[in-house]
Amino acid sequence: MGYTVLYFVAFWLLFESIFRHRLHSTEFAVLSHFIALNVFSLVLTVFGLVLAIWARVVLGKNWSGHVTFKENHELIMQGPYAFVRHPIYTGLLLMFLGTALAIGTLGGLIGVPILFLSFWIKCQQEEAFMIEHFGDQYRDYMKRVRAIIPFVF
């Protein structure tokens, strides 16, 4: 439940700031808008979208909106799962960050770490299930591959 509340708070901050930004132009912007930032924001957003879709396709029938095991559940470690254990969350975070940078409002920027925390909490729950189901195979995978940010975290 905790991760869900944080998730909605992060999205409310982003979308509320988008709505306010559109109503008041740049009044609430904390980042200056220049072409390089806009291009970088677009690249982050598109890369995040492609990553999330790729991860979802690779996950296939193992995907679920809730933390649960499917019949004949497999441990997927190829494709984007070779770089991060939770690439869908990574993709969503990149899309959120790209959007927050593009609008440049404080609310959107504050939402990024809140969304990260939400995903981190959910990752802990998912990984407890994965360890319970896959045991040492998943523990070894955890040692080799970072959770959300490749090579970092």
- 130 occurs within a structural domain: yes
pLDDT > 80? residue 11? yes
CATH of the domain at 59: 1.20.120.1630
Residue reference for tokens 């869900």? 4
Split into its structural domains, the chain has a count of 1
Does residue 39 sit in helix, strand or coil? helix
Any bridge partners for residue 105, and if so which? 29
Query: How far apart are alpha carbons 34 and 90 in whole angstroms?
Result: 25
Q: Residue 146 pairs with which residues in a beta bridge?
A: 84
Secondary structure letter of residue 1 according to DSSP: -
Q: Is the pLDDT of residue 39 over 60?
A: yes
Spatial distance between the Cα atoms of 9 and 16, rounded to a whole number of angstroms: 10
Across 3-17, 39-53, 64-78, 100-114, which has the greatest mean pLDDT? 39-53
Residues 6+ apart with CB under 8 A from 20: 28, 105, 107
Q: Is residue 15 part of a domain?
A: no
Longest CA–CA span in the chain (Å) reads 54
Residue 43 lies in a domain: yes
- Percent of the chain whose predicted confidence (pLDDT) is above 70: 87
- State which residues form the domain around 76: 35-102+112-144
39 inside domain = yes
Q: Is residue 72 part of a domain?
A: yes
